[in-house]
Structure 1
Amino acid sequence: MSTYKRAIYPGTFDPITNGHLDIIRRAHRMFDEIIIAVAESEAKKPMFNFAQRVHMVKAVTADLPNIQVRGFNNLLVNLSDELDANIIIRGLRAVSDFEYELQMGYANASLKKELETIYLMPSLEHAFVSSSVVRTILNFDGKVEHLVPPKALELIKCER
């Protein structure tokens, strides 16, 4: 039995925020390998297209060893089978996140009993940061420097 621990951190990352990066860095200390799985999620009508979001996450995490970034457009349980990873990382900012995440965790576990979901809270300074807040501010040409990693900000400025 292997003690190597691989975890998946799924999301749309539209765009990746300092809150996401906080979760990634903290999970990185807990696991041997983190696969950041960028969901295509066209139903959510993302601000940034799929390729842009994957590129942005790769750029932001390039300095972290044992991090892979890949896109996906299937069930998370199927991706976990493909990647031989039975640990899912999710972030919880507030009680409002908890209900949704609990429901998703149970749904995934009903499809694959070996799948474990670990919930991490972002550091207090990032607890209010969400991609939707960033998108709203961007829609009004507001400043987001304090909400997104510098490499993401560079790419956001290029894409807009």
Structure 2
Amino acid sequence: MSETAGQSDGLSHRTAVYTGSFDPITSGHLHIIQRASKMFESLTVGIGINADKRPMFDINERVDLVSMVTRDLPNVSVKTFDTLAVDFVRSLGAGVMVRGIRPLTDIAGEFTMLMANRQLDPAIETVFLMADERFAHVSSSLLKQIAMISDDDAHLAKFVPREIITAIRQKMRNDGA
């Protein structure tokens, strides 16, 4: 294979970035990360700021939580960004943006974002990974509701990695939820 194989416009298609707010990381997010880490030599989880949402965890807490649950994946790193996702992906030399989609609920929005990203940087490819059926209904909003109503950690563990349940419970106590 030549040195330029897997590259376009100086970007590596062996390197991918999975962007999101990860507030907090769900089992669905983690499943997408695990699958993408097998597809690419290097995967960066890019934690961004969504101005439309009031975060449960600050950016540094989210980095810590994602790092904790991905520590056994040697080709996965975690970084933050406050730019357009395509600019962040390009800044890392990556040629692929990974997006996880849930059936029906995400497709229209993700397609719109894909088209916008192509206009902004046509060299970056988007790869969609369909959420596993076990996680297709999981959202950060849903798990926050469950955490507020149920004291049973087994209920919460159906939606988030067990390692972060304590952090969620602590955050909700501190925020008076």
Q: TM-score band, normalised by the shorter chain? A: over 0.9
TM-score norm. by structure 1 comes to 0.93
Q: What SS does the corresponding residue of 2:46 show, helix, strand or coil?
A: strand
Q: What SS does the corresponding residue of 1:91 show, helix, strand or coil?
A: strand
TM-score norm. by structure 2 comes to 0.84
- Match of residue 68 from structure 1: 77
User: How many percent of aligned residue pairs carry the same amino acid?
Assistant: 36
After TM superposition, the structure 1 stretch with the greater mean CA deviation from structure 2, 134-143 or 50-59, is: 134-143
- Match of residue 39 from structure 2: 30
In structure 2, how many angstroms separate the alpha carbons of the residues matched to 1:18 and 1:64?
15
Correspondence for 1:48 among 43, 46, 57: 57
Correspondence for 1:147 among 140, 159, 162: 159
Q: How do residues 2-41 of structure 1 correspond to structure 2 at under 5 angstroms?
A: 2-3=5-6, 5-41=14-50
1:159 equivalent in alignment to 2:171: yes
1:79 equivalent in alignment to 2:79: no
- Which residue type is aligned with residue 80 of structure 1? V
Correspondence for 2:107 among 94, 98, 102: 98
Q: How many Å apart are 1:40 and its aligned residue? A: 2.1
Preserved contact between residue 23 and residue 62 of structure 2 (Cα < 8 Å): yes
Gaps of 5+ in 1: none
Structure of higher RCO (CA pairs closer than 8 Å, 6+ residues apart): 1
Q: How many Å apart are 1:42 and its aligned residue? A: 4.0
Gaps of 5+ in 2: 7-11, 173-177
Preserved contact between residue 15 and residue 134 of structure 1 (Cα < 8 Å): no
In structure 2, how many angstroms separate the alpha carbons of the residues matched to 1:73 and 1:47?
18
